[in-house]
Structure 1
Amino acid sequence: MHLPNRLVSPFLAILLLCSISNTAFAAPPNSRQLYERIRPSVVEVVTKNRTNLGVSSVASGFVTHRKDWVITNYHAISDSIFEPDDHTLQIVSMDQGELRAEIVAVDIQNDLAILKVEQALRVPLLELRETLPDRGESGYSMGKPGGYQHSIVTGTFNGVTDKTSTPLIIFSGAINGGMSGGPTLDGEGLVIGVNVATSTKYQLVGLAVHAEAVGQLIRLNNPQKSPSLDDLRKDIARQVSAFNQQIVMRFDLPTHSVRRLGPFQVRGDISRDEPCSAARKDTPNDHYKRVDQRCDSSTSLYISDKQNAGHIVMGSFWFNSEIMSSHGLARLVEDQLTRLRNVKDNDGPTASWSCTEQRLRGRFDLPIQLHACRRAVEKLPGLFDYRFRYTPLVSGQDALLVAIGMSGFDDQSARAILLKSMDSLSFTPKAKP
């Protein structure tokens, strides 16, 4: 026997309304509710000095994927990789106190690290949201700022940066020191990013690594045991070399122009965000004029407090004199070159410099004198710092010196960038009257 439709419809409508009111119309959690739910899964990441157990650095982290895994920033734990005899790594949980931790994997380009805790944490696993937030969407950031208690701050998402090698989420919340490595959350409490930095120039501008990078790092690493420090360093060197290759590829983009210095054509901008600068260096007693061009790459990778990788500085120095002889001008350039050759062994945590000199042929069979120096980067096999100085061997009233400094490059990438610089070089002598 069937009930009439007019009786069934209102009954079903009431059930449907009740169901909707408990789901779609449920109010999102407020910041207090979200703090209480998320707080147990947010931990401190502490690096201590072995000598006196004093704290070297404090950052934040959070638990996801596995209850014995913590996500944090790479820069927060790098001392434990490069100075393990001096530093220990711990996490501090809300209920279980201090626990030893070791490093499972790092992603230096995205400033991420996975830590494995000595025992599983009795906390909920936070869920990742690997889609970018809408511009204007509300969100939260959690962590432990400095010596204060764990905090939650509100803000809005405002797109992603386009001035770094890795796009970062822009968040209008106060991400302060110590909150690095903590979660950036959407309104439902899903992890949308990892706190990484705050602007030192603009107030209330925080930056977060997108959660998609966290998901990729997790999917690429599920080891049964943590890698050795040597293996971690080799992996960091491999990641730096991959970043170097990206830099080489960008050198071929049309945005990287050439510029003129008198009769010389030289390499121009090496970053779209940092145009080359130029300045005259004349003095009243000089018998020549000099114009200096400086071009700087805008990005590099943080390796440790003592080492960055992938940074390039190019300087081009044009000398011109209507009075000095070609020999006198050449001697002037040689004096400048001698000062630039004076690299010191104590200006970084690396081995001694090894230098060579040779004569090459550039474009249009232009003779070039090259002075090249290289030194190994400590604890990162296959990476080096470089100092290149070269000058075209031309006669007349003009001379040029090009100086290139490169930090943390492999041989192949460094050679490619040097050749691209020299390939931009040309000389057009002045027509004789």
Structure 2
Amino acid sequence: MRALWWCSGLWFALLLLGSANPVAADSAEQLFARYEPALLQVRVLEKASGAKASIGTGFVLEQPNLLVTNYHVVSEAVLFPDKYQLEYLAVGQKKGQLKVVAVDVINDLALVSTDYQPEQRFSIQDERPVQGATIYSLGNPHDLGMILVPGTYNGLQKYSFYPRIHFTGAVNAGMSGGPTVDAAGKVVGVNVASAGNQLGFLVPADALQALLQRFIKDGEVADFKQQIDQQLVSSQQKMFEQILSANWQLKDFGPGKVPDEVVPFIRCWGESNVEKDKDQLKKVAAFCSQSEEIFLSQQFTTGRIEMQFEWLHAPDLHPLQFFSRYQQNISSANPDNQAGKEDVTAFECQHKVVQQPNGQHAKTVFCVRAYRNFAGLFDALYLSASLDHDKQGLISHFTLSGITQQTAQAFSRKFSEAVLWQ
């Protein structure tokens, strides 16, 4: 999700009138009146035209006097400072310049220096709300003005490597970087994403506290790309330590076996056209992924893991017909993350024919492409297709983004050993 958004006075009044709890509505009204001056619209301006390229929300902290927002809100100004600059818009149409001083790309957070000093500012809650508590998300949706949206705290998202609070409430585009507060007005999370249908996600307040402590210790960042590089490497090492040390469970798949949900944050789904499609080529597919992405820029994301398995069987097709269809499915494999030529190099690939311990053969392709601005990081793509049968075959595939070459090779070995074909 690239951005989150919010509304103005009429929308706020409608939200209060629609509340089933008048006590909560009064509390929400008081919170909004007290803290609205500490909410800012964060604007990314294109220098040449002076026009807005994107917007988000930010909020001013009590200590230290810094603005908090999402990294994805200010990313263009961080990566391309010659092209973009930042500006805030406060209550009463007051404007001023902003400067990013620290980022946490893994948790999509940024600290920004500002000369704006409202009388009332936000402080951070040290304890998490109880499950089911009413909390309040603030921000500026769709450039319509600041609003407050009540919702429910549902704890941390269960199946996620990156800690995110599940918030039942409307988090819309333009609300990115805004605070979500408890009934006392203390920040419990930072708006980060929405899946629609009252399904929102927040960065927990403890991640913000950790970023603040690093900033207090280390000061303003001199080289953002170096800091982002270090954060990406550290995050992927922690993730793959869990994955590679896990005891991978296998499941039956056609005449073979493939990995199942190898760690809790990798989830699997399946589908087939068996008994549903008159196509002579029968397909059974399984998809496994760690679906959250790390946002680097509008054109560049990383941090995903995806595994895919397909069993194809065509007893009534001529072997040449089957091979043609088989080849089409093999050639459809692509990297799972978004990146452009300015972000990554072209893939370099190794092609091999390998033999399993049971004597079965497969053609494998292992490809990597390097990150241009983050040394030592790569995307990896692996594809394997069984070769020993003329009317059926197993295709196994994975893509990894933002990993070291050593990690890519270690994962490839474990993955290939886990895919068994009879």
TM-score by length of 2: 0.79
In structure 1, the residue matched to 2:51 is 54
In structure 2, the residue matched to 1:8 is none
Q: After TM superposition, give the deviation of residue 237 of structure 1 in Å.
A: 2.7
CA distance in 2, matches of 1:240, 1:407: 10
In structure 1, the residue matched to 2:268 is 275
Q: Which moved more, 1:31-40 or 1:105-114?
A: 31-40
* Amino acid in structure 1 at the alignment position of 2:151: G
Instruction: Indicate which of 299, 321, 324 corresponds to 2:292.
Output: 299
Q: After TM superposition, give the deviation of residue 173 of structure 1 in Å.
A: 3.8
Q: 8 Å contact 1:276–1:295 — kept in the other structure?
A: yes
* Amino acid in structure 2 at the alignment position of 1:257: Q
Instruction: Indicate which of 249, 263, 282 corresponds to 1:257.
Output: 249
CA distance in 2, matches of 1:271, 1:116: 39
Q: After TM superposition, give the deviation of residue 270 of structure 1 in Å.
A: 5.5
Cα deviation code 1:59-111 (max 9, x no counterpart): 11112254541111111111222333332112233479322222222222322
In structure 2, the residue matched to 1:410 is 404
In structure 1, the residue matched to 2:374 is 380
Quickly say closer, same or farther: Cα 1:391–1:182, change in 2 above 3 A.
same
In structure 2, the residue matched to 1:182 is 178
Q: After TM superposition, give the deviation of residue 41 of structure 1 in Å.
A: 2.0
* Amino acid in structure 1 at the alignment position of 2:82: D
CA distance in 2, matches of 1:285, 1:178: 46
1:162 aligns with 2:158: yes
Q: 8 Å contact 1:363–1:426 — kept in the other structure?
A: no
CA distance in 2, matches of 1:400, 1:175: 42
CA distance in 2, matches of 1:261, 1:317: 9
Q: 8 Å contact 1:269–1:276 — kept in the other structure?
A: no
1:242 aligns with 2:234: yes
CA distance in 1, matches of 2:167, 2:391: 55
Give the 5 Å matches for 1:344-383: 348-349=340-341, 350-360=344-354, 362=356, 368-383=362-377
Cα deviation code 1:297-340 (max 9, x no counterpart): 333322222222122333333344668899x6996588448735
CA distance in 2, matches of 1:340, 1:177: 33
Give the 5 Å matches for 1:207-246: 207-222=201-216, 226-228=220-222, 231-246=223-238
1:127 aligns with 2:123: yes
Larger RCO: 1 or 2 (CA < 8 Å, sep 6+): 2
- 5+ residue gaps, structure 2, are 1-24
1:40 aligns with 2:37: yes
In structure 1, the residue matched to 2:139 is 143
CA distance in 2, matches of 1:148, 1:100: 21
Q: After TM superposition, give the deviation of residue 219 of structure 1 in Å.
A: 0.6
CA distance in 2, matches of 1:416, 1:330: 33
CA distance in 2, matches of 1:68, 1:298: 35
Q: Which moved more, 1:91-100 or 1:236-245?
A: 91-100
In structure 2, the residue matched to 1:63 is 60
Q: After TM superposition, give the deviation of residue 187 of structure 1 in Å.
A: 1.5
Q: 8 Å contact 1:130–1:212 — kept in the other structure?
A: yes
Q: Which moved more, 1:294-303 or 1:251-260?
A: 251-260
Q: 8 Å contact 1:127–1:190 — kept in the other structure?
A: yes
CA distance in 1, matches of 2:27, 2:258: 58
Name the larger-Rg structure: 1
In structure 2, the residue matched to 1:108 is 105
Q: Which moved more, 1:145-154 or 1:288-297?
A: 288-297
CA distance in 2, matches of 1:166, 1:39: 30
Q: After TM superposition, give the deviation of residue 277 of structure 1 in Å.
A: 1.3
TM-score by length of 1: 0.77
CA distance in 2, matches of 1:319, 1:31: 57
Q: 8 Å contact 2:394–2:421 — kept in the other structure?
A: no
Q: After TM superposition, give the deviation of residue 214 of structure 1 in Å.
A: 0.8
State the aligned residue count. 393
Runs of 4+ in 1 over 6 A off after TM superposition: 281-285, 323-326
SS of equivalent residue, structure 1 residue 62? strand
Q: After TM superposition, give the deviation of residue 216 of structure 1 in Å.
A: 0.9
CA distance in 2, matches of 1:341, 1:275: 18
